[in-house]
Structure 1
Amino acid sequence: MAAPTCSTKHSLLSLPTSPHAPIYHLRPDPLFPSPKSLLALSSYDAPPDLGAKGPVALREGDPVPPSMLRRSRQIRGGGAFTYTSPLPIEFPYDIREPADTERTNAATPTTIETQLAAFEASPSHPVWDAALPSSEERPARATAFSSARRDADAFPRGQLLSVSAALRDAWLPQLDIGSDGEGDKVREQFVDVASGRVVLAREPVEGNEGEGADKGFAPWSLCYAGHQFGSFAGQLGDGRAISILSTPPTPEVAAKTGFKAIELQLKGAGRTPYSRFADGLAVLRSSVREYLGAEAVAALGVPTSRALALVHLPSVHVRREQLEEAAIVTRVASSWIRIGSFEQQAYRGEYDSMSLLERYVAREVFALEEKGAPRVGEGAPARRSLMRAVVEEVARRNALTVAGWQAYGFMHGVMNTDNLAVTGDTIDYGPYAFMDIFDSAHICNHSDDGGRYSFRNQPSMMLWGIDKLGQATAELIGHEAELAERGEGGEGWVVAPDGWAGEGEATDDMKRWKERGMQEVAKVKEGFVGIFRAEYERLMRLRLGLTTAEEGDFDLFSRFLDLMATHELDFTNTHRLMSQFVSTEGSTFSAFLDALIPASAASSSSSSASPARDDWTAFLSSYETRLGLEPSDAQRTRRARMDGANPRFTLRQWVLEETIAKLSDPATRDAEGRAQLERVLDMATRPFEPYGEGEVGVRDEGETCPTREEQERRRLCAVGPVDMRGFQCSCSS
């Protein structure tokens, strides 16, 4: 189906599926090879003596029991994903024999499979698009399904807490989510899908072996491995994330973003085969953090996944450090493939599957083949390893991202390779934080005892992740490089032949290919360093109002940060205030220093002899000299440019904690909590607004009385309570 235009509105149930979705290009979990196999779970007929003769062992041709969708297991056969349906109910599941009133948890395998099958989306329960008022307008195939068990009142019902209009307008202008009015059927269906109650799916066209939607469609969870805190952890995968739709962007969005597809994913929608010992759910606390964090980072211009909706499931209770209520974030990205996706294929030694993943990322995510192989002079396209090009592009994108993190004081907290996207997007918001009082050694994750992912370590840890991607793919890079040298492997980009399985790690060929591949990876890593530094300097020039590049700029930036650390100044407020600097000789300079340096940072805030004032005066004198090298027109527009690059509002930990507390308390949730959530979301997506900002050297005489809303927004821009500065979260956040 063609991509919709901005003027065409579609509900979630009528959005077209994208032919670039990973399910049409990568190998599925062998137990669930097609959308049809997932939809067949609802009709599973459990034998009455199932398990009576011992553990159930599947034989080839046996129908797959529904429990295999929720049971943690190792995926083989090159499987890069599992077709998975959302099931946001409490775990362990309350499954028992009908007569078991004392909850002995002694249900038979037959009962377990029968009850699980009742939860699965069923072709006999199609859900039709509520935006189509008459049955005559319905498509030939249903695009969503439910079941009798899901339709029952006992199944958890989601409450929509918020929708990000900024994300919808930027990436999904074609999406109709209905209105707030009571009884709006489009809005009700949107919430049903976003809460995991209704499952988006399409049955395949019978007898048609074509591509894309003809094969049907169903949600999926990715299979990937990863290094966690420096140690390889084996298979991990989407333990609580389920992608529910991949849809084409509008032509306007595609031109602006370069996206070939937009993938919607539910985080916290229940167990998958990758959940291991966890429940697959997410709590309200962590969901609020991801929802607001993703939108805040996007507003700063740093590459990131986005958040579309936040749905609360108050009847679903989740055990973390304490009993909490569940919630689901609908998050959005062009792709959710990670560095760990390649590590998983290397871990299994399935190089043919890795080659499929290579081609998928190169063609369907990066569109490298559309751009063509690089040319040397005016001659024919250079012959070059496609896998090396993929690693290089992953490195380039992530170098730009981590430069944005460092320039804007963002700390991810868990830069494991399973949390690093090949697209360079910031993903998996857990114990993240924005810098308060500047400290380059700050650790935002209290589970990170050794400070592996501290603020200052982020660039080196991102490079470490690129190295792990290179190690995972080195044999493929080396093999393709040799093919290129021999003139084999196709025109332009060189790829391994279909079905290439390597020769086993112990062979001389594999050793040679790996050595050659790591030589190429070393070159990519060198490029990473250059890209990171250039982007970091560009952003810091932007933040300090510089439009030209001078040799001493990096040293100037370093002095600026060192002074903030030495005198314990706030990262956001210090950057923002710099736009109001005029001159060290001007009449407002003393007032500027008063605003810049809090009393706690100066031995005597009114004395020009205080160490902090002396240090900053010396720096600002150098800064003033540097500004004098700028073109005159740039000097005139400096303040406006700096105020457009330095946020007034930042998503501080105290703001998050206060918002979470108000939403978690039933007494404040519906009115005060939701009002604060929307206020913080609006400020996070418009962080450069002044929000009651003071003017250096100008006294507020109170001539105009700010409204209560204006007072609240000004309050939310404050540094906040002392005990919340540098607040750390855990990985479970």
Structure 2
Amino acid sequence: MSVKKFDILSLPLVPASERLTVNLLPDPVTPAPRSIVSVPDSQPSLVRRSRPVGQGSHFSYLSTLPLSFPYDFPPEEEGEQSLGDKHQKEAEQDDADDAHLTEGQRKQKVERAHKRRMQEVEHMLQRYEVQPTEVGGASGSEASTGLTGFVPPRRRHQHFASARLLGVSPAALRDCLPHLDVGDILEWIQSNNKKAGPSSYSSGPIADAGSSDASSPQAAARKTLSDFVSGRLIGARIGAKPDELEKDDRAGYGTKYMRYREKVIKGEQAEEPAAERILRRLNELEEKRASPDTTDYAPWSLCYAGHQFGVWAGQLGDGRAFTLMETKNPGTSERWEIQLKGAGRTPYSRFADGLATLTSSVREYLCSEAMGALGIPTSRALAVVALPELHVVRERLNMAAITTRLCPSWLRIGSFQIHSSRGEWESVRILGEYVSHDLFGFTDVIKGGAVGDEATRPAWVRRMVEEVAMRNARTIGLWQVYGFMHGVMNTDNIALTGHTIDYGPYAFMDLYDEGQICNHSDGEGRYAYRLQPTMGVFAIRELLNAVEPLVGFEIENGRAPAPGELLAASDEQMDEWRELCSDEFAEKLEHTFTNTLLEQWKEAYRARLGLKTVEADDKSAIIDPLSAALSDLDFSTTLRRLCQFPALLKARGATVDDETKLKDIVNDFLAGSDTLEPWYDVSVLPEYIRSQKETQTRSWLLTYARRLLQEGRDGDAVTAEMKAKNPRFVLRNWVTNEVASRVEKDNDTDVLAKVLEMATSPFEDWGIPREGKTADEVEEEKRLCSLGRPLTGNLPSCSS
């Protein structure tokens, strides 16, 4: 069935009632989508510097801005000074001229100069934002779908970083966004492999200057997508005319908030009491829900907190991530949020620059797609672009890049923790109702309502926490079966939906080691492979801690809390509800998590081993001994070669009763033959354990052979099933690092495309001669499937 295609700006948005920004509370500094418009009084620096985001806010509206930080705005014209150089020279001149001034005069002069320079910075930042003159009021059908693309003046300037498209994932397009028109993007990337110069740029000032094919519809779709995913183009909808924006105090970053703060500071207005402010914001949210503005829409970043390596870190948030839009797969109706990672600073950036390195971006792009192909719940990666002129300082000077990520939701356990830690229980309730109703499909859950509304509200808190626990348990169970190590299982990196998110120092197991650490920054081994299930339990406990009073409320009242009800509760009442939760629910939740994880783990291992029947002793008799046998062996390759064993048993006429024949077959499988590789590569083992390993693996294979024969299934069919569950290609760290290096040095996009192809079809017989492949291609596939450089000498860190 054909699917109607849209360019990236025209993708249909989810219905207004389901949008995150309609259902959650905005940052008071950015109260509406029109806050991103650059009106004269706006202060863009408010969203470009780190600050606490309060008043129970769940998110901040803001635009992408991939610039080096600290900002030093380039000169407007050739030969002029940059703004930073200008300010530095002014300061030096002031120092030379101030010798005759008194201390008071000098202080006043410094304050005036500081204020003027800040105004100049604000004015410069305003020119990177949507201009009021570019905004036109949309109405009717014109406003029902899609966004308008804005490229503000300073983003057209020659010094703004141009983009080079490196890759777009056909698998992500197929699975998530089949309605997205990418134009000729795949052909264009291929045609520019290993090229340099203006023609190799897909968007930005360099591409604008050298473009000759923009008139083609396919080229236009490609350029729009490139501008969008490189953070240059701002996709938004602002349903107002320029003259209306000038009078609207919700327009412009911080306009409304700063005017209010100024009046409070001057004594012209009293500080709004906290309780009144909360009630006001609840009413504003209900007004928005009652008649959602289907026109206005703008990007946003999430506010959240978390435990990092077990230590409470306070406010974190999307420090370099921007959600651009929400759309649905027209075939499956699955919701996808399109997000950029590495597109500039946000209020949550703390001391960082909001950027990402090319290496980390390529690694996330490849691994997101590899995990999806393995059937593990994960965010997906649509595209990766390089910004060759923009440099990122980490352990070395790196090329900047941006990944376009997709996930049904980017909300995480830390999204609840930020509000519970501040006692913002109404924000916890609002968030939970949205997650339960719109993300988990609990259709009986009532979202919002007027304060004092006494309608019976079905309980949702325990259901929601259990759903989060089960989803993450199933995901982590699959991590363990496929040897995936996340590396940073902080609570701010654990998605409520159970998807694997935030790929940093991840790795797939190569030489099997239960204690393997994949993160150079994890000196204590907190997130070692064997501890990942335990860390999942820790994260779910912290989620429960964040909603304990609401669980206790449900237990006591037999219903969910209504708007404003938690606000009226005393501290003593909150403590009583916490106690009810601890007594009645915590143990059950942990049991649910561990049982779900164990059952998923056993089920997935049985699939990898070609076993259909379920036996009570599967863990103790089959899986645990296999783990012991695999120790120090190449985990993935050894299991892939095991796929041949059921077919061998059939070919040799094995039976359960003929023990001698079984032992001969096992010995032959271990040793290999002209047509069969040895089960494992003995060269990876130290000589002193080779004999012990042979005894161990022989014993396990005999047990496994008996179990296969007892099931009585056709050996060839079992082998085929196993090959569809045991990948031939695994995305090893040495592969991702080599790909990133070749892309950065030579713009080698062919190797990126090749590894992506292998990662998204991991069960294919890569490295086997076949029609249409040269001998060199076959050898390269074999190399990419090999053990290569072991992980122990190749650990990434959290820095990216």
TM-score grouping bracket, smaller chain normalisation: 0.7 to 0.9
Give the AA of the match of 1:124: T
Deviations 1:121-180 (A, max 9, x none): 224236999xxxxxx999999622221111223221211100001001111100001114
Distance in 2, matches of 1:601 and 1:311, equals 37
Structure 2 counterpart of 1:497: 562
Q: Equivalent residues in 2 for 1:563-602 (5 A)?
A: 563-565=629-631, 568-581=632-645, 582-583=648-649, 584-586=662-664, 589-594=667-672, 595-600=678-683
Structure 2 counterpart of 1:721: 789
Give the AA of the match of 1:363: H
Structure 2 counterpart of 1:88: 66
Residues 123 and 145 in structure 1, CA contact (< 8 A), matched pair in contact too: no
Out of 318, 342, 358, which is 2:392 matched to? Answer: 318
Residues 444 and 458 in structure 2, CA contact (< 8 A), matched pair in contact too: no
Structure 1 counterpart of 2:155: 150
Residues 443 and 454 in structure 1, CA contact (< 8 A), matched pair in contact too: yes
Deviations 1:223-278 (A, max 9, x none): 0010000011110000000001111331x222xxxx3x210000000000000111
TM-score normalised according to structure 1 size: 0.85
Helix, strand or coil for the counterpart of 1:93? coil
Distance in 2, matches of 1:703 and 1:229, equals 50
Report the Cα offset of residue 725 of structure 1: 4.8
Q: Equivalent residues in 2 for 1:32-181 (5 A)?
A: 32-39=30-37, 42-45=38-41, 64-95=42-73, 102=85, 104-105=87-88, 108-125=117-134, 143-180=148-185, 181=188
Distance in 1, matches of 2:719 and 2:137, equals 54
Residues 156 and 316 in structure 1, CA contact (< 8 A), matched pair in contact too: yes
Structure 2 counterpart of 1:59: none
Distance in 2, matches of 1:408 and 1:426, equals 13
Higher-Rg structure is: 2
Structure 2 counterpart of 1:697: none
Relative to 1, partners in 2 of residues 1:587 and 1:625: Cα closer, same or farther, differing over 3 Å? closer
Distance in 2, matches of 1:127 and 1:286, equals 39
Helix, strand or coil for the counterpart of 2:325? strand
Relative to 1, partners in 2 of residues 1:43 and 1:454: Cα closer, same or farther, differing over 3 Å? same
Residues 633 and 685 in structure 2, CA contact (< 8 A), matched pair in contact too: no
Distance in 1, matches of 2:635 and 2:768, equals 16
Q: Equivalent residues in 2 for 1:368-407 (5 A)?
A: 368-369=442-443, 385-407=459-481
Q: Gapped runs of 5+ residues in structure 1?
A: 46-63, 130-135, 373-381, 485-493, 695-701
Out of 305, 313, 316, which is 1:233 matched to? Answer: 313
Report the Cα offset of residue 601 of structure 1: 5.8
Determine if the alignment matches structure 1 residue 536 to structure 2 residue 601: yes
Distance in 1, matches of 2:145 and 2:789, equals 59
Structure 2 counterpart of 1:616: 697
Which range moved further: 27-36 or 209-218? Answer: 209-218
Helix, strand or coil for the counterpart of 1:385? coil
Q: Equivalent residues in 2 for 1:338-377 (5 A)?
A: 338-369=412-443
Give the AA of the match of 1:78: G
Structure 1 counterpart of 2:450: none
Give the AA of the match of 2:239: P
Report the Cα offset of residue 693 of structure 1: 5.2
Relative to 1, partners in 2 of residues 1:448 and 1:404: Cα closer, same or farther, differing over 3 Å? same
Structure 2 counterpart of 1:247: 327
Structure 2 counterpart of 1:199: 234
Q: Equivalent residues in 2 for 1:328-477 (5 A)?
A: 328-369=402-443, 385-477=459-551
Determine if the alignment matches structure 1 residue 514 to structure 2 residue 523: no
Report the Cα offset of residue 97 of structure 1: 9.4
Relative to 1, partners in 2 of residues 1:140 and 1:564: Cα closer, same or farther, differing over 3 Å? closer
Determine if the alignment matches structure 1 residue 632 to structure 2 residue 641: no
Distance in 2, matches of 1:248 and 1:656, equals 30
Deviations 1:684-715 (A, max 9, x none): 00000011259xxxxxxx99995322221111
Determine if the alignment matches structure 1 residue 25 to structure 2 residue 105: no
Relative to 1, partners in 2 of residues 1:6 and 1:586: Cα closer, same or farther, differing over 3 Å? farther
Residues 302 and 404 in structure 1, CA contact (< 8 A), matched pair in contact too: yes
Give the AA of the match of 2:61: Y
Deviations 1:284-311 (A, max 9, x none): 0110010001111111000000000001
Relative to 1, partners in 2 of residues 1:214 and 1:591: Cα closer, same or farther, differing over 3 Å? closer
Structure 1 counterpart of 2:5: 9
Report the Cα offset of residue 84 of structure 1: 1.1
Deviations 1:539-561 (A, max 9, x none): 00000110111122112111111
Give the AA of the match of 1:94: D
Relative to 1, partners in 2 of residues 1:545 and 1:31: Cα closer, same or farther, differing over 3 Å? same
Structure 2 counterpart of 1:550: 615
Residues 436 and 726 in structure 1, CA contact (< 8 A), matched pair in contact too: no
Determine if the alignment matches structure 1 residue 731 to structure 2 residue 727: no
Distance in 2, matches of 1:354 and 1:703, equals 58
Residues 434 and 653 in structure 1, CA contact (< 8 A), matched pair in contact too: yes
Residues 144 and 295 in structure 2, CA contact (< 8 A), matched pair in contact too: no
Deviations 1:382-407 (A, max 9, x none): 99631111101000100000001000
- Cα RMSD between the aligned structures? 2.9
Report the Cα offset of residue 590 of structure 1: 2.2
Aligned-pair identity in percent equals 41
Structure 2 counterpart of 1:287: 361
Structure 2 counterpart of 1:56: none
Determine if the alignment matches structure 1 residue 679 to structure 2 residue 767: no
Give the AA of the match of 2:477: A
Relative to 1, partners in 2 of residues 1:23 and 1:710: Cα closer, same or farther, differing over 3 Å? same
Relative to 1, partners in 2 of residues 1:27 and 1:693: Cα closer, same or farther, differing over 3 Å? same
Residues 634 and 680 in structure 2, CA contact (< 8 A), matched pair in contact too: no
Relative to 1, partners in 2 of residues 1:82 and 1:704: Cα closer, same or farther, differing over 3 Å? closer
Relative to 1, partners in 2 of residues 1:370 and 1:114: Cα closer, same or farther, differing over 3 Å? same
Give the AA of the match of 1:302: I
Residues 643 and 688 in structure 1, CA contact (< 8 A), matched pair in contact too: yes
Give the AA of the match of 1:626: R
Relative to 1, partners in 2 of residues 1:727 and 1:213: Cα closer, same or farther, differing over 3 Å? farther
Distance in 1, matches of 2:20 and 2:119, equals 34
Distance in 2, matches of 1:264 and 1:705, equals 36
Deviations 1:328-378 (A, max 9, x none): 000000000000000011011111111100111001111112699xxxxxx
Deviations 1:308-338 (A, max 9, x none): 0001100111111111111000000000000
Residues 473 and 536 in structure 2, CA contact (< 8 A), matched pair in contact too: yes
Distance in 2, matches of 1:563 and 1:532, equals 22
Structure 1 counterpart of 2:767: 692
Distance in 2, matches of 1:616 and 1:349, equals 56
When the two structures are aligned, how many residues end up with a matched partner? 660
Deviations 1:385-435 (A, max 9, x none): 311111010001000000010000000000000000000000000000000
Distance in 1, matches of 2:636 and 2:385, equals 31
User: Of the two structures, which has the highest relative contact order with CA contacts closer than 8 Å and spacing of 6 or more?
Assistant: 2
Relative to 1, partners in 2 of residues 1:708 and 1:265: Cα closer, same or farther, differing over 3 Å? same
Structure 1 counterpart of 2:208: none
Relative to 1, partners in 2 of residues 1:137 and 1:235: Cα closer, same or farther, differing over 3 Å? closer
Determine if the alignment matches structure 1 residue 709 to structure 2 residue 777: yes
